[in-house]
Structures are given as C-alpha cells and as structure tokens.
Chains A and B, each alone.
Chain A
Amino acid sequence: MSYPAPIDPNAIWRRRLYGLGVAAVLLCWLLPLVAIMLTAIRANEDLMLGNYWGWPSSFDLVENYRAVFTGTPILRFLVNSFIITLPSVLFVLVLSTLAGFALSRYRFRGSTLILGLFIAGNFIPPQILMIPVRNLMTALGLYDTFWALIIFHTAFQTGFATMFMRAFIAQLPSELFEAARVDGATPLQMLSMIVTPLVRPALAALGVLTFTFVWNEYFWALILVQSDQVKPVTLGLATLKGQYITAWNLVSAATIFVALPPVLLFFLMQKHFVAGLTVGAVKG
C-alpha cells in the first residue's frame, strides 16, 4: 500500500471530486503561465483597457510574434543558446565519465578530497569566481565569445556531473571489472567495453539536466558576454523586457518562445530528468 493511501477505486464520485480538486490546485499553480499565454495572443489595446481575461478584441498571436522576430534579434539569441549549450553538454559528459570512472574504480590518497572539492564546487556562490574568471577570459582573448561561456559552464558543471557519474559507475557490478582484469584488460579497455555501454541511462539523465542548467543560466552570460552575436536567450529576454516596457503582450510572446526548448526537452525526456534530479532522494 503506497502512501498516502490510494482512494478506493470503486468510489467513483470521490475519485472524480479528488481529480477536480487537483485540477483546481494545478490551475492556481500555473496561473502565471496561463495568464502569460492569454496575454501573448492579445493586442496591446486590450491590456491598456484592462481586458486580461475577457474575449480578446482581436487574435494577435501571429502579429505579436512577427513583431518580436522582426523587431528583436531573439532568433539569433536562440541560435546562440544552442551554440553555447550543446558543446558544453558534450564536454561535461565526456569529462565526467572519465573522471567518474577514475574516482569510482581506483582508490588513492586524495580521492576523497577531490570528490569533496567537486561536491563543494556545486554549492559555492558564483560571485566568488566572478572577477578572476572574467579577467581570465579577457586575458585569453575569449571575453564576449561563445568559448568563454562554454569553458566556464563545462568546468562548473563537471563537478556535479563527476559526482553523479562516480556514484553510477560505483554501482555497476564489480564482477564485471574483476573478470575483465583477470583477462588482462587495461583501464582504457574497461572504459570502452564495460563502462561506456552501461552508463547510457546515466548519460541521458545527466545530459538533460546539464542542458537545462546551462540553457537557463543567466549570471555568467551577464558577466562574460555583451554583444548580440553571442548573447544567449536568457540575457536577450532580460534586455527585451527593458526595451518593451509596457508592451507586455510582446514580452509574453517572447517569454513563451524562450521557455519552449527546455520545456519541450523536459516533456520528451521526463523520466531521465526526474531520475537525474532525484538521485540520492530515494535513500531513507
């Protein structure tokens, strides 16, 4: 019997009532989003008149998006976000698989310290890195380039990812590795023949999570880039909000557009996302 106790399957009206209750809570929960979707289809005159919930005076969704796409570089920002996020995710997955394998399969003096540093790295406030990292990227000639963000995100996410991969690889049956060792396999052969095929679910979970973290990131974009050719959507949206001021129908349309990629990815990969996020939450 799970908890809370399931509602009696035969109590049809109780079940329906419960379902209605949940739907009501859900509607309140998503109210800000519902409102912003409704706003994105309105003309600005409706907002001026305070018509938020009534029938729109005209359906301007297409016009609103046309205004956003032609009046702002938001499509460019979207492409930038992909250019920043995809390589970061790839690098994080590769580095953390290598490091996670080393940390889970070889005990050496200092391995706990390294693990501790990786874990601690996730928690630090980014401001403690801000000035030196900005100077470093400037010195390398990478300020205001995609590489500044790709390198930083890769480094920052690798701590969390390594911890994640280490825990996953440590749970693989040790007989596999012992058998391989008896057969004279080198660590690199174990990595390619045992680890790589078996960690795919972990990589999927980690990939979705890392994508979402990097895609949604704002602070480092603010610190490391400034030109429209490099800005990711998060920074672009913040700029746009300042530009449009009271044209909330356009801001709403842009907001929905910016939110779509992570939301779509989440719906496509929900299992992996949740599995990745809740590692460790399931132990008593």
Chain B
Amino acid sequence: MTAAGNEHGRRAREIALPSGAGSQATFGPWRPGSDFLTSLALLAPAAILFTVVIIIPILQSMWISLHDWDGLGEPRWVGLANYVELFGDPQFYVSLRNNLIWLAVFLLAPPLGLALAMLINQPLRWMGIAKSLFFVPLVLAPVTVGVVFTWFYDPAFGLLAPIARAFGTTAPAILSDPSLVTWGIVVAAIWPQTALCMILYLAGLTNVDEDLIGAGRIDGAHGFSLFRHVVLPQLRGATFIAFAVSVVGALRSFDLIAVMTQGGPFGSSSVLAYQMYEQSIFSYRLGYGAAIAVVLFLIVAVFIAWYLRRVLGEEARN
C-alpha cells in the first residue's frame, strides 16, 4: 500500500490495498503433504528476504537505541538514557512540530485532489492529454521536485523574485527564514501529493454508480447535497487510501528536506526522519539516532495498526 508516494514516488506506493476476492477463491485449508511444502517453497524467497532486510533490522534498531554507540567502537548499554535525553531535546520538539505541520498541510491533498479530479472528469477533446499532464508531478523524483522548488524560491535568481516584483514587493528568502522554511518545503511536497490523490479520485469517479446519481437527481438532490450524500459515499475507497497515503507521506517526509535545506537554517526545518539521519550520519550518535527512529516508528505504527484493522477486517468479511 504504499503507493504513492513519491515522497510521492515513494508515496505513491502506499496505495494499493488488497482487494481480496477472498476465501471462496482459495482451496480451503490446504492438505498436508506436497501442496503445503510447495506453498512454503513459493513463499520462502520473499519471506526470508523480507525477514532479513525489514523485520530483523526493526528489532535491531530498538536494541541499538538502548546503547551509546559511535558506529565503530563497542556499543555501551545505557538503558533508556537516549529516550530521556530526546524528550529533553528542544530540537526534538521542533522536528515534531514540523512533522505536525506536514501532516496538517498534507490533509489538504485529498480535498484538493478531489477538486482537480472533478474539474477534469469531463469528456472534452484534449482532456486525455490534459489528464496525463496533470499526473506528471507524481512521476517526478522528490529530488527533482526539491531542486525545482529550491530554484523557484531562490531570492536572487528564482522565479518567485520577478513574481513578487510584479506585485510591487520583494520576495522573502523563504528557505533561509526559520519561520517560513517548513511551509515552503511543504508547499513543494503537496504538489505531487495532490496529483496522487487526484488519480485516486479519478479512478473513484469513473466507478460511481450512474443509476444512483440519476436517482439522486430525480429525488431532487443537486449541487452540494448530491455531492455530499450521493457521490462522496461512493468515493469512500478512494478517500480512505488518499488519506492513508497522505498521513504516511507526511510522517515519513525526508527527501525534500534533505535536498532543499538539510534541515536548516539551524534545524528549523528538520523533521524526525531527518533529525535521525543527521544524528546518526553526521554526529556519529547511532544510539541516539536509533531512539529517534523508534519514536517515529511507534507514531507510524499506531497509524499502521488502524489501517491494518480496516484492511484485514474487510478481507475477513469477504
């Protein structure tokens, strides 16, 4: 399900969820014997790789977070000291606050995406090409988006400068102003995120039940009430995924910050993911970095639990 993400790319991935046709399609409980062994053998390569590269490292990170370690010498057991230090670290709260800003702004991506989807869901000539062009930000690498917007914001050579001049003012140096920098980065990030949500809603719109819409119109629903009571409920699937990928995208934000500001100026645009990277790679504090990663992981885990409950519950009902 990670579809989308780039951040979106990456992000793009959070998307697909299993739409299981479920149990009636399976053979029922397998019979002991060669079928069972075969299915194990089929599963083994993926499962082993996943265990070694994903699951075990999660546990190892938790273990490392209980140590003081520079990555070279012997790790020294410190118990929860890294966490105690983290909760007293002002930078932690700056990062956390920035993650919340990302989250709040990213929650705008689904409604914006829906608005765009409704705008272009018209059978006009050229609309096919227009749709493709609207998708483009989604396939750009986050690094590309970061470079484009860094230039866009550059107060001397960037595009914002002449635009501001046209309005009779000078462009603020967005990426070097601690109070603006996170907002500037999030605006860049929401561009591909909105494109992703738009694709999800376009797919949802092509699958709305036309009879229900027609019936709603006959019953006198129109304008906002038709949208609210007839259309929106049918877009539930798209809405669920759009919000899921947006929440995860906001919490995992890293690429744009690394490319645009490296967390600066003075850590003011850092988020938990970037603070973790910085502490581990530049300050050689792997135990402390691991503790930050664990905190971020636990925040995301709450969300994952909610998501799995819903997806697997649906699966079980089928």
Contacts and interface: CB of A to CB of B under 8 A. Distances in A.
> Do A and B make up one complex?
yes
Interface of A: 1-4, 6-7, 15, 18-19, 22-23, 25-26, 29-33, 35-36, 39, 47-48, 50, 52-53, 95-96, 98-99, 101-108, 112, 114-133, 136, 151-152, 154-160, 162-164, 166-167, 170-172, 174, 177-178, 181, 186-188, 191, 209, 212-213, 215-219, 222-223, 233-235, 237-238, 241, 246, 248, 251-252, 255, 258-259, 262-263, 265-267, 270, 273-274, 276-284
Given A30-B133, A123-B304, A278-B200, A6 B123 contact: yes
A110 B82 CA distance: 35
B60 A187 contact: no
A102 B42 contact: yes
Interface stretch (B85-93, B101-109, B174-182, B254-262): B254-262
B271 to A, nearest CB: 10
Interface in B22-61: 22-30, 34-36, 38-40, 42-43, 45-47, 49-50, 52-58, 60-61
B263 interface: no
A283 B237 contact: yes
The 7 closest A-B pairs by CB, nearest first: A122-B2, A132-B57, A155-B53, A278-B203, A216-B141, A216-B9, A99-B46
Given A35-B159, A121-B50, A246-B157, A171 B237 contact: no
A131 B280 contact: yes
B124 A281 contact: no
B53 A105 contact: no
B169 interface: no
Interface string B230-247: 010111111001100000
Contact of B14 (A6, A104, A123): A123
A94 to B, nearest CB: 8
A206 to B, nearest CB: 9
Interface string B51-92: 011111110110010000001000000000000000000000
Contact of A106 (B4, B22, B24, B36): B36
B1 A160 contact: yes
Contacts of A112: 312, 315-316
Given A95-B46, A132-B60, A18 B122 contact: yes
B307 interface: yes
A23 B294 CA distance: 46
B183 interface: no
A155 B316 CA distance: 27
A123 B25 contact: no
Contact of B157 (A47, A266, A282): A47
Contacts of B14: 122-123
A263 B138 CA distance: 9
Given A128-B294, A132-B57, 6 more contacts: A32-B149, A99-B43, A107-B30, A130-B61, A212-B6, A281-B15
Contacts of B255: 218-219
Given A23-B130, A108-B36, A218-B258, A129 B61 contact: yes
A276 B16 contact: yes
Measured as residues with beta carbon below 8 angstroms from the partner, the interface class of chain B is 35 or more
Given A36-B151, A95-B45, A126-B252, A106 B30 contact: yes
Interface of B: 1-6, 9-10, 12-30, 34-36, 38-40, 42-43, 45-47, 49-50, 52-58, 60-61, 64, 71, 116, 118-127, 130, 132-137, 139-144, 146-152, 154, 156-159, 161-162, 191, 196, 199-208, 210, 213-214, 217, 231, 233-238, 241-242, 248, 251-252, 254-255, 258-259, 272-273, 276-277, 280-281, 286, 289-290, 292-294, 296-297, 300-301, 303-304, 307-308, 311-312, 315-316
A171 B21 contact: yes
Given A3-B205, A133-B53, A123 B1 contact: yes
Given A1-B213, A32-B152, A186 B55 contact: no
Nearest to B300: A125
12 contacts: A127-B272, A128-B293, A129-B58, A131-B60, A152-B53, A157-B13, A209-B13, A216-B140, A234-B141, A241-B150, A276-B16, A282-B207
Contacts, number: 415
A235 B144 CA distance: 10
Given A22-B119, A120-B304, A131-B64, A237 B53 contact: no
Contact of B38 (A19, A155, A160, A186): A186
Contacts of B204: 281-282
A125 B148 CA distance: 25
A237 B42 contact: no
B25 A284 contact: no
B58 A128 contact: yes
B18 A26 contact: no
B49 A155 contact: yes
A120 B308 contact: yes
A216 to B, nearest CB: 4
Given A98-B46, A107-B28, A163-B16, A277 B4 contact: yes
A270 B100 CA distance: 34
A152 to B, nearest CB: 6
Contact of B55 (A117, A178, A237): A117
Contact of B25 (A98, A170, A219, A274): A170
